[in-house]
Structure 1
Amino acid sequence: MPFLLGYGIPIFGVFLAYKLTKGKNIKRQYIVWGIILMLAISPFLSFAIGLTYALIVQNGWAGLIMVYIFPVLFLVGLILLLVGLFKKEPTDPY
């Protein structure tokens, strides 16, 4: 069950972000993907990867790899969100 939640929610988040950004401008795409990455993908995916790694090496302490994975993915999502917020719309010179 933890694996289902750990891998299922990020897959659903990717599907949802794809549906929300299909045909939208690049600014909105950055914002949506940043939010989805921060809220749906990074916590659950880091948990699932940590749990999987801990089961593979047969050591519960190895699951703490999620402590390193989560901030990296969260910061990538935050950067995407900030780029989307502060990106200027392209102006048509004609």
Structure 2
Amino acid sequence: DTESTFGDATATFYSGIGNNFSAYVKHHAYIEDSSVILLQAFSGTITPEGITNAQMATIMVDNNGNSVDYIENNQGRLFIDEDGTAERQ
């Protein structure tokens, strides 16, 4: 049983200096019969090997009343790359 996930970005913002960057995305995600509104942030430093200090955060803006399957509104999760580098593919 696999879940289908897709979404529509509704707003984006990018910032940075030198090789350091942050990207912010607000999007509506659709997972099977549910929809949620999320804010996601990505940050790191671009290097020849990939992205060092890679981090991603997700904040739930609106779980549409589905607190059983999703985190509560205004809650978030932070994801940090285990070895510190997201390698180029």
> TM-score scaled by structure 2?
0.30
Please give the TM-score of this superposition, normalised by the length of structure 1.
0.29
Higher relative contact order, chain-length normalized (CA < 8 Å, sep 6+): 1
Judging by fraction of residues, say which structure has more strand: 2
More helix by share: 1
